[in-house]
Amino acid sequence: MAKRRFLPKYVSSFADRHGKERLRFRRAGQPTGYFKAALGTEEFRIEYRAFLDAATAPSTIAIERAAPGTIADLVAQYFAVPTRLGPSTVTQDKVRRIVGAFRDEHGSKPVNRIGFEHVEGIIAKKLVRTMVDTPRGKRPSGGPEAARKLRKELVRLFDFAVKKRMIATNPAAQAERVKVPVDQRSTGFHTWTEDEIAQYRAHHRLGTNARLAMELMLWTGQRRSDAIRMGRQHIKDGRIHVVQKKGGKGLSLPVAPQLLEAIVAMPARGSHLCFLINEYGRPFTDGGFGNWFRERCDEAGLHHCTAHGLRKATMRRMAELGTANQSMKAVSGHSKDNEVAHYTAQADQRRMADDAIAALARWERARDAIGVTVGE
């Protein structure tokens, strides 16, 4: 078989035992991976980026055999049952990224030789914020929030090690908790403002994929993983029916006039079942859509805005209108009041501050009108 030319970095071609050509990803410090998609396709591009980011599930990456009793062995057993990592694929992928990075650095070490002081040293290293090179340029890595999340996942990992009798006590649970300074606590993804929504609309007109994507997320309050699966078949009697990918909760939401306008403005899509179709005429993958929407935001000059920030904008809008927590949860699909509390708290603070200052102003004017000096 002739060797392919112009293969991406770290990718090689080989013939399997059936004589079929296969593409393999090999990079120092990472498990060897094998591509499912054909070279040059959108799916191949998504898989390749996932390999580079070391964020692919075990079903896609073939984990190399680990020495028994090592961190790599522990992680392989831990990853073997995805539900151990979380209730949804979204959560599971996040856990794999965090624990996988820990395994990549410490995989050869024996589990029974890890003490709390070793874990504290690893977490202390994670506390330092640095800039690292990625396929999409330099990005920040580490910091208090990253260290806190690492300790949380290590506690769960070593709890599993105790159950497997690979270690007697949990060293991560004995390690000091990470205290995140108030001024360094993450507020998560940026919440879109009304000016930013208007700016995006001005740049991306009705009838474009970019505009429909924004309106879908803004007027349903759903995550990108749900927006990319929505189609006309989900709309009945003026309502759009959603089964959330994260958690599996079913929702029935009224279709806002603004969303309907964006749907109707789109050119005919033939037999496609999804509203949003990529440049290859196929439905988006979750990761592919995130990168694509990131580029649409950049085109509109909104470099700090993201798809998830639109979900937060929907919550912000409802909170500012004084929407009750139960009604907000009926739209977003959140289960607990504390998950939406910070939106209502911010909105309530603004309303109460407005009321208080307005009352003070009226009080002073009333005293002045009757000739009483303030402060007497």
What is the C-alpha end-to-end distance of the chain, expressed in Å? Answer: 97
| Cβ-contact 155, 176 below 8 angstroms | no
pLDDT score of 51: 78
Q: Is 110 left (phi over 0), alpha (psi -120 to 50) or beta?
A: beta
Question: Does residue 173 register a pLDDT over 50?
Answer: yes
Instruction: Please classify residue 15 by burial: count the beta carbons closer than 10 Å to its beta carbon, then call 0-12 exposed, 13-18 middle and 19+ buried.
Output: exposed
Residue with tokens 């609309």: 201
Mean pLDDT of the residues in the chain? 84
Name the DSSP letter for residue 61: B
Bridge partners (DSSP) of residue 252 are: 241
Instruction: Please classify residue 204 by burial: count the beta carbons closer than 10 Å to its beta carbon, then call 0-12 exposed, 13-18 middle and 19+ buried.
Output: buried
Name the DSSP letter for residue 189: S
| Cβ-contact 245, 226 below 8 angstroms | yes
* Alpha helices per DSSP H over the chain: 42-52, 71-79, 89-106, 116-127, 144-163, 171-174, 194-203, 209-220, 224-227, 257-264, 286-299, 307-320, 325-332, 341-369
Q: Give the domains, in start order, of the chain with CATH numbers.
A: 1-64 (no CATH), 66-186 (1.10.150.130), 194-344 (1.10.443.10)
Cβ neighbours of residue 203 closer than 8 Å, sequence gap 6 or more: 299, 300, 301
Question: Does residue 321 register a pLDDT over 80?
Answer: yes
pLDDT score of 35: 85
Reduce the DSSP state of residue 177 to 3 states and report it. coil
Which residue has better confidence, 5 or 234?
Answer: 234
Q: What pLDDT, in 10s, does the model give residues 12-69? A: 888 776 777 888 888 766 677 888 888 878 778 777 877 776 544 443 333 446 789 9
Residue with tokens 């009798």: 165
Question: Does residue 209 register a pLDDT over 60?
Answer: yes
Name the DSSP letter for residue 110: B
CA distance 189 to 306: 7
Q: What pLDDT, in 10s, does the model give residues 122-143? A: 999 998 888 766 555 566 778 8
Cβ neighbours of residue 14 closer than 8 Å, sequence gap 6 or more: 21, 22, 24
| Cβ-contact 277, 268 below 8 angstroms | no
From 27, 62, 68, 69, select the one nearest 79 (Cα to Cα): 62
Q: Where is average pLDDT lowest: 6-15, 133-142, 238-247, 325-334?
A: 133-142
CA distance 213 to 229: 11
CA distance 32 to 177: 34
Banded pLDDT at 187 (limits 50, 70, 90)? low
Model confidence, pTM: 0.60
Banded pLDDT at 80 (limits 50, 70, 90)? confident
| Cβ-contact 171, 165 below 8 angstroms | no
Residue with tokens 């949990």: 170
130-134/137-141 β-pairing: antiparallel
Q: Where is average pLDDT lowest: 101-105, 126-130, 248-252?
A: 126-130
| Cβ-contact 319, 328 below 8 angstroms | yes
